[in-house]
Structure 1
Amino acid sequence: MNLVWPSHEFLPGYVAALERGWSPNNLRPVARQEELDLIHADPDAFLASLVDREALGPPVRMPDGSTVPKLPGYRRWIWDGEFCGSIGLRWQHGTNELPAYCLGHIGYGVVPWKNGRGHATAALRELLRDAAAEGLRYVEITTSPDNIASQRVIDANGGVLVEQFVKLPSLGGTPELRFRIALA
């Protein structure tokens, strides 16, 4: 398993996953079709939008349809010879804090046909090095209480449960668990 930067070389695998019904955004499944539309309209602009360390891109659409300012960050693709999923890192310059509308520093998803192979665990381990290089002292990652697989991924990477909370209404208003991983 490798983390690759989104590029034309890997784009057909990403498109195929979207066309099979996978969405890179578990809070907004409609993001799947939105991304397909963006790719078909301008693949270069779509790829460029996935790496935005200065948060120059457009606002982010929330599950309730509202928008919030984009944070600095990027997405990497999980690759094992074919597309397996994506993992993203977001932060605010000069602080470890995140705004209330952002559930965590890292979000990830593996396509269902690649689940159970350790890809998410390995991808998170690799991205933690990137987070440290960005100057973060720790990362926070959230997951639903019933997502045992994600909790195992976080635990395998040193995650410690910090709190159980209820997400903002704009994010669905459902229970969530927040984990913290200290970075060396």
Structure 2
Amino acid sequence: MGNVRLTVPDLRLEKEYKDFYEEWVESGEDMVPWVIAKEPADFAGMVEWLEKNSAGIGLPEGWVPDSTFWLVDETERVLGAVNIRHSLTPFLLSSGGHIGYGIRPSARRKGYATKLLELALEKTAELGIAKVLVVCDRSNEASARTILNNGGIEDAPHTEENGNVVRRFWIGG
């Protein structure tokens, strides 16, 4: 797997991030976590938006501050992203959790998701979040294994209005 680390969004990683973004777009898959769906043409503006989200500045009504980190390897290639919500709203308690994460399609099945969640849990501890909720769709067995590999204890699932079943796991606390 190599040496990987989390980094805050950084202007110096524009080329690497845009490559990450384009791979997701070309895959046609849902972009996870939600923040990576923001088109990065104005890269500096996107990084500033992420910084403001982390500080809780300019958030829509009912939203909570959230911090985004990128998983990069020793060559600075962006392999994945994680978005950490600092607290839970009723929606996040049932369907979103504290942590959303994703690995670029070409880097999957190499252990990066497990490492990304492990590193994200260190960040939640730094934010003072002792008990962390992580969720995944019932159909996403790979994500469920990643969560279980990081100590997840399954709680009652939540069925969304459209019938999608969300598995909910608590870590820590």
**Alignment map for 1:103-114 (pairs within 5 Å):** 103-114=96-107
Provide runs of 4+ in structure 1 moved above 3 Å: 22-29
User: After alignment, is 68-77 or 117-126 more displaced?
Assistant: 68-77
Is 2:158 the partner of 1:165? Answer: yes
Given that 1:57 and 1:70 are in contact with CA atoms closer than 8 Å, whether structure 2 keeps it comes out as no
Query: What is the rounded CA distance, in whole Å, between the counterparts of 1:140 and 1:3 in structure 2?
Result: 20
Gap runs ≥5 in structure 1:
60-67, 93-97
Query: What is the rounded CA distance, in whole Å, between the counterparts of 2:166 and 2:90 in structure 1?
Result: 13
Q: Secondary structure at the match of 1:101?
A: helix
Q: Which residue of 1 aligns with 2:172?
A: 182
Is 2:22 the partner of 1:19? Answer: yes
Compared with structure 1, are the counterparts of its residues 158 and 109 closer, same or farther at alpha carbon in structure 2 (3 Å cutoff)? same
Given that 1:24 and 1:86 are in contact with CA atoms closer than 8 Å, whether structure 2 keeps it comes out as no
Query: What is the rounded CA distance, in whole Å, between the counterparts of 2:7 and 2:34 in structure 1?
Result: 24
Give, as a single letter, the amino acid of the residue that structure 2 aligns with 1:3: L
Query: What is the rounded CA distance, in whole Å, between the counterparts of 1:24 and 1:125 in structure 2?
Result: 23
Q: Which residue of 1 aligns with 2:142?
A: 149
**Alignment map for 1:28-39 (pairs within 5 Å):** 32=37, 35-36=38-39, 39=40
Aligned-pair distance for 1:109?
0.4
Given that 2:136 and 2:144 are in contact with CA atoms closer than 8 Å, whether structure 1 keeps it comes out as yes
Is 2:67 the partner of 1:74? Answer: yes
Is 2:50 the partner of 1:57? Answer: no
Aligned-pair distance for 1:27?
8.1
Once the two structures are aligned, what percentage of the paired residues are identical? 25
Q: Which residue of 1 aligns with 2:111?
A: 118
Given that 1:73 and 1:91 are in contact with CA atoms closer than 8 Å, whether structure 2 keeps it comes out as yes
Gap runs ≥5 in structure 2:
none
Query: More helix per residue: 1 or 2?
Result: 2
User: TM-score scaled by structure 2?
Assistant: 0.82
One of 80, 83, 86 as aligned partner of 2:81: 86
Q: Which residue of 2 aligns with 1:65?
A: none
Query: What is the rounded CA distance, in whole Å, between the counterparts of 1:24 and 1:158 in structure 2?
Result: 26
Query: What is the rounded CA distance, in whole Å, between the counterparts of 2:71 and 2:103 in structure 1?
Result: 8
